[in-house]
């Protein structure tokens, strides 16, 4: 603490006292009160870590205390959040610091990692992750800061809080893995190749994805679609598995074979095919954004000036390729 700081100088006697090592060897109740009321809130010149790292420190401490006190409910709640953090960090593998810990992050997600875990293991977990958590996207986190003291107004017994077997992040990862490893599944194949779907097709796929979530499957699937703002299950699945390039190429073949189109116009159509192959779904509004806007600053209408029938046809084709339209059949 800077003793020239006027705020510090107001409590200089206490500051000077606790600068001495011997003052800490036998703290009395009065000493603790002095530290809490006169010293703790004073400004210091010690550099602090970012809030995300300190919150991870706090979570690790709560897990250590819960483990030592045998509080299984508290430990499990924090354990699940740590597993989610490890999953989210895995997606940041292009960051060197994260890449160096990928094997460890994968092990944290395995149940065997937590079997017989001890206080030292939790400390290692804290040290390995505290420098990585600032890399998490802020939109995936809800952080609430409070500074108040609880007051006990009454005591009551509540039923045990239900803890789901699988978190939303864990479920999403399992669903992604399933879809990408089962591209030959009849419904997934039909979605990728732009073939009509029936209500039975969608019900079967929905049932499969619900089973992945075990007892909480229906709730987890509903939450997954809501988080991804997917208008339908078909839309969500297509956005993950993409569209078969041959099917996308066939859908726009009439434009590619149009010999009246210029090289930039042909390139525009090819870029549409590239986007559908990679992303599976595409809103017509995306044609006014990068990378399409790099071809002509005036947008599609300017690029296809004098050929309104062509650009109108491209817009209409995109609408017909929406997964929801396929699901309307049957």
pLDDT digits (tens, 9 = 90+) for 52-108: 999 999 999 999 999 999 999 999 999 989 999 999 998 899 999 999 999 999 899
| Co-location of 181 and 255 in the same domain | no
Cβ atoms 86, 109 nearer than 8 A: yes
Domain annotation covers residue 63? yes
* Higher-scoring residue by pLDDT: 45, 225: 225
| Co-location of 229 and 288 in the same domain | no
Instruction: Report cis status (omega within 30 of 0) of the bond before 291.
Output: yes
Distance CA 47, CA 54 (A): 12
Tokens of residue 18, six digits: 């606790």
Domain boundary (241, 273, 299) is at: 241
Distance CA 313, CA 276 (A): 16
| Co-location of 251 and 321 in the same domain | yes
Query: Is it the case that residue 278 has pLDDT exceeding 50?
Result: yes
Domain boundary (187, 213, 241) is at: 241
| Co-location of 71 and 26 in the same domain | no
| Co-location of 84 and 132 in the same domain | yes
pLDDT digits (tens, 9 = 90+) for 107-130: 998 888 998 999 999 999 999 999
| Co-location of 22 and 82 in the same domain | no
| Co-location of 210 and 252 in the same domain | no
pLDDT digits (tens, 9 = 90+) for 150-200: 565 555 554 444 455 677 888 888 899 999 999 999 999 999 999 988 889
Q: Which of 49, 43, 48 is nearest to 2 (CA)?
A: 43
Domain annotation covers residue 150? no
Domain annotation covers residue 151? no
Query: Is it the case that residue 143 has pLDDT exceeding 60?
Result: no
pLDDT digits (tens, 9 = 90+) for 92-112: 999 999 999 999 998 998 888
Domain annotation covers residue 160? no
| Co-location of 122 and 173 in the same domain | no
| Co-location of 212 and 235 in the same domain | yes
Cβ atoms 255, 261 nearer than 8 A: yes
| Co-location of 249 and 319 in the same domain | yes
Query: Is it the case that residue 288 has pLDDT exceeding 80?
Result: yes
Domain that holds residue 23: 6-35
For residue 152, the model assigns a pLDDT of 58
Please state, as a whole number, how many other Cβ atoms lie within 10 Å of the Cβ of residue 78: 20
* Residue recorded with tokens 């017509």: 284
Domain boundary (221, 241, 261) is at: 241
pLDDT digits (tens, 9 = 90+) for 221-273: 999 999 888 889 999 999 999 999 999 999 999 999 999 999 999 999 999 99
Domain annotation covers residue 145? no
For residue 160, the model assigns a pLDDT of 46
The domain total for the chain is 4
Confidence (pTM): 0.57
Domain annotation covers residue 1? no
């Amino acid at each position: 603490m800077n003793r020239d700081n006027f705020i510090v100088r107001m409590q200089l006697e206490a500051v000077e006292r606790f600068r001495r090592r011997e003052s800490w060897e036998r703290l009395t109740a009065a000493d603790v009160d002095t530290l809490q009321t006169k010293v703790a809130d004073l400004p210091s010149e010690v550099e602090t870590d970012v809030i995300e790292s300190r919150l991870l420190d706090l979570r690790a401490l709560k897990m250590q205390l819960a483990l030592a006190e045998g509080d299984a409910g508290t430990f499990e709640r924090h354990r699940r959040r740590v597993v989610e953090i490890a999953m989210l960090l895995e997606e940041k593998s292009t960051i060197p610091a994260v890449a160096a810990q990928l094997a460890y992050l994968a092990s944290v997600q395995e149940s065997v990692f937590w079997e017989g875990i001890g206080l030292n293991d939790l400390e290692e977990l804290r040290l390995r992750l505290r420098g990585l958590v600032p890399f998490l996207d802020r939109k995936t986190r809800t952080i609430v800061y409070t500074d108040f003291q609880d007051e006990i107004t009454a005591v009551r017994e509540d039923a045990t809080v239900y803890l789901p077997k699988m978190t939303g992040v864990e479920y999403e990862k399992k669903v992604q893995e399933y879809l990408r490893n089962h591209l030959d599944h009849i419904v997934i194949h039909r979605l990728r190749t732009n073939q009509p779907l029936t209500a039975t097709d969608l019900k079967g796929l929905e049932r499969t994805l619900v089973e992945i979530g075990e007892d909480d499957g229906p709730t987890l699937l509903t939450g997954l679609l809501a988080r991804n703002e997917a208008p339908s299950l078909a839309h969500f699945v297509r956005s993950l598995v993409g569209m078969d390039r041959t099917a996308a190429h066939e859908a726009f073949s009439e434009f590619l074979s149009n010999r009246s189109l210029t090289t930039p116009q042909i390139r525009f159509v090819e870029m549409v095919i590239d986007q559908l192959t990679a992303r599976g779904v595409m809103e017509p509004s995306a044609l006014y954004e990068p990378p399409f806007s790099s071809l002509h600053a005036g947008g599609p209408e300017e690029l296809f000036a004098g050929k309104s029938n062509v650009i109108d046809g491209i817009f209409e084709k995109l609408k017909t390729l929406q997964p929801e339209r396929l699901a309307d059949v049957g």
